[in-house]
Amino acid sequence: MARDVHTIGLVVHPSRDIDAALASVRAWAQAHGARLGQVLVPGQDRRVADPVEPDDCAVLLAIGGDGTVLGALDRAGQTGTPVLGIAMGSLGALTSAPASEITAALDRLAGDDWEARELTGLAIERDGVRVDTAINDVVVIRRGSGQVILAIDVDGGPYARTAGDGVIVATALGSSAYTLAADGPLLAYDHGGMVVTPLADHAGFVPPVVLSGSSVVSITVDGGWLGARVEVDGQIVQDDTGPGEQEQFRLDISVDARGARLLDFDGETRIAGLRRRGVIADSPRLSARDAREAKTAKTPRVSRSW
């Protein structure tokens, strides 16, 4: 069954060279009678088309890297509009096709030859007021050279108090990003919960904890002398504490099941995709052993007779 790709909403990298990719998209749109518009992302000044709203689009086409895809997912929000990520020479853990295959990807989209990964988000409240939704993660981090002091509660009870660099609360999707880099666990795509990973905790013992989709994480933040910063999906959303202010605030974080939809073509498992991109890699010792065995197999044996 064909899909009516009436409008393509572009979300583009702020600085990367995307002219060739845009030319391919424009040619495809003209050939298929589709309208092109640009879905604007906060802080993004680059303009490539007239503005359009996500709910007016058949698909959001994110041309860039993982940050661009996250921006598109954030704008897609709960509209149900799928996001198709195009990798422009980057790692592209969230992308579905490289720039060289953009025309083929749009053909498959129009042919309804795709599936959607339904993503959960994180609903964020600050001091009891809903302020944002994260697709990847929420990070509370020290603003200066000192430590940020956190009291982390889970489902109304204390989990740990920490003094260190901060904490990450991530979705299953976000568990392969900052959380994984901080030695947190990798969650399966269909895991409906979240993971809490402390950052460089000073002494004590506060391991990462995996929670269900019904849990609520509450973080009381004491920024100390130099303050704290809050980031949502890699973007700074609060950086208003300064030296000596010692502001305290509370974040309540819960799973929002009404997340965005990430378009996928080949049903590749998450682990397979991360291995293919080198995010997950075998031990160098085993790779060296494989290389030795391959070399030995190619070396002909010399037979000798006496």
pLDDT attached to residue 258: 73
- Read off the pLDDT of each residue in 17-38 and give the average, rounded to a whole number: 95
Cα gap 231→166, rounded to integer Å: 11
Report residue 250's pLDDT band, with 50, 70 and 90 as the boundaries: very high
Class of domain 7-119+260-276: alpha beta
More confident residue, 155 or 258: 155
- DSSP-assigned letter for residue 106: H
What residue type is assigned to position 112 of the chain? D
- What beta strand segments (E) does the chain contain? 7-12, 35-38, 59-64, 82-87, 97-98, 115-118, 121-126, 129-134, 137-142, 148-154, 157-164, 166-171, 194-199, 209-211, 216-222, 228-232, 235-238, 248-256, 261-264
Residue 5 pLDDT greater than 90, yes or no: no
Residue 246 pLDDT greater than 60, yes or no: no
**Quick one: tokens of 8?**
């393509």
Residue 265 pLDDT greater than 90, yes or no: no
More confident residue, 46 or 80: 46
Residues of the chain with CATH 2.60.200.30: 121-256
Cα gap 196→82, rounded to integer Å: 28
- Average pLDDT along the chain: 88
Residue with tokens 């698909």: 59
pLDDT attached to residue 261: 87
Q: What's the CA dihedral at 42, 121, 268, 65 to 10 degrees?
A: 20
Catalytic residue among 17, 19, 45, 66: 66
| Residue 66 appears among annotated catalytic residues | yes
Residue 138 pLDDT greater than 60, yes or no: yes
Buried b (16+ CB within 10 A) or exposed e, 11-27: bbbeebebeebbebbbe
pTM of the model: 0.85
- CB–CB of 189/118 below 8 Å? no
User: What tens digit of pLDDT does each residue of 139-169 get?
Assistant: 999 887 788 899 999 999 999 999 999 999 9
- CB–CB of 259/135 below 8 Å? yes
- CB–CB of 227/143 below 8 Å? yes
Residue 53 pLDDT greater than 80, yes or no: yes
Cα gap 242→36, rounded to integer Å: 43
Cα gap 243→210, rounded to integer Å: 34
Of the ranges 119-128, 205-214, 237-246, 254-263, which one carries the lowest mean pLDDT score?
237-246
**Quick one: tokens of 249?**
């605030």
**Quick one: tokens of 64?**
């860039």
For the chain, report the end-to-end CA distance as a whole number of angstroms: 73
pLDDT attached to residue 115: 86
Fold of 121-256: Tumour Suppressor Smad4 (2.60.200)
Counted residue by residue, the chain has a size of 306
What residue type is assigned to position 70 of the chain? L
Residues of the chain with CATH 3.40.50.10330: 7-119+260-276
User: What tens digit of pLDDT does each residue of 179-232 get?
Assistant: 999 999 999 878 889 999 999 888 788 999 999 999 999 999 987 767 789 999
- Read off the pLDDT of each residue in 278-288 and give the average, rounded to a whole number: 88
